[in-house]
Amino acid sequence: MDYRRQFIVGPGSKVRLADIDPSSTGKHESQEKAARETSRQIERIDRLQYLLYADASRSLLIVLQAVDAGGKDGVIRHLFTGLNPQGTSVAGFKQPTKAELAHDFLWRAHVRAPGRGEVVINNRSHYEDVLVVRVHKLVPRPAWSKRYELINDYERLLSSNGTRILKFYLHISPQEQLARFKRRLDDPTRRWKISESDYAEREFWPQYIRAYEDAMERTSTKWAPWYVIPANHKWSRDLAISTIVADAMEDMRLRLPPARVDLADIRRKYHTAKSGKRGGDPAAR
3-state secondary structure string across 59-118: EEEEEEECCCCCCHHHHHHHHHCCCCHHHEEEEECCCCCHHHHCCCCCHHHHCCCCCCCC
Residue 228 maps to a domain: yes
CB atoms within 10 A of CB 261: 8
- The amino acid present at 232, given as its one-letter code, is N
Question: What's the CA gap between 95 and 97, in Å, rounded?
Answer: 7
Q: Give the rounded distance of the alpha carbon of 105 from its chain centre.
A: 20
Angle at 207 between CA 201 and CA 210, to 5 degrees: 135
**In 155-238, where do the E strands start and end?**
163-171, 226-230
Q: So what's the pLDDT on residue 275?
A: 46
Q: What is the rounded CA–CA span in Å between residue 178 and residue 198?
A: 10
160-193 residue pLDDT tens: 999 999 999 999 999 999 999 999 999 999 999 9
> How far is 272 from 265, CA to CA, in rounded Å?
10
Cα separations in angstroms, 42 against 35, 83, 243, 253: 10, 9, 8, 18
Residue 234 inside a domain? The answer is: yes
Query: Band of the pLDDT at 115, cuts 50, 70, 90?
Result: very high
The bridge status of strand 8-9 relative to strand 226-230 is: antiparallel
Sequence-distant (6+) residues with CB within 8 A of 4 are: 227, 244, 247, 248
- Residue-wise pLDDT for 242-285, tens only, equals 999 999 999 999 999 988 888 888 888 888 755 455 544 444 44
Please state, rounded to an integer, the average pLDDT across all residues of the chain.
93
The tally of domains found in the chain comes to: 1
Q: Is residue 91 part of a domain?
A: yes
Residues 6 or more apart whose CB falls under 8 angstroms from that of 122 comprise: 61, 62, 63, 64, 90, 91, 93, 109, 112
- What is the H or E stretch that residue 24 is in? none
Please give the order of strands across the beta sheet that includes 59-65: 8-9, 226-230, 163-171, 59-65, 119-123, 88-92
Please state, for a pLDDT cut of 70, what percent of the chain lies above it: 95
CATH code, domain with 80: 3.40.50.300
Cβ count near 4 (within 10 Å):
16
| pLDDT of res. 285 | 44
In a domain, residue 279? The reply is no
Domain that holds residue 84: 3-178+205-254
Does any domain span residue 31? yes
**Angle made by CA atoms 135, 139, 144, in degrees to the nearest 5:** 80
d(CA 206, CA 239): 28
Q: Please give the pLDDT value at position 172.
A: 98
pLDDT digits (tens, 9 = 90+) for 43-102: 999 999 999 999 999 999 999 999 999 999 999 999 998 899 999 999 999 999 999 999
Q: Is residue 62 part of a domain?
A: yes
**Confidence (pLDDT) at 277:** 53
In a domain, 274, yes or no: no
pLDDT over 70 (residue 9): yes
Is residue 56 situated within a structural domain? Answer: yes
Judge residue 50's burial from the number of C-beta atoms within 10 Å of its C-beta, 0-12 exposed, 13-18 middle, 19 or more buried. Answer: middle
Calculate the alpha carbon distances from 50 to 77, 87, 244, 249 in Å. 19, 9, 18, 11
Q: H-helix or E-strand containing 159?
A: helix 147-160
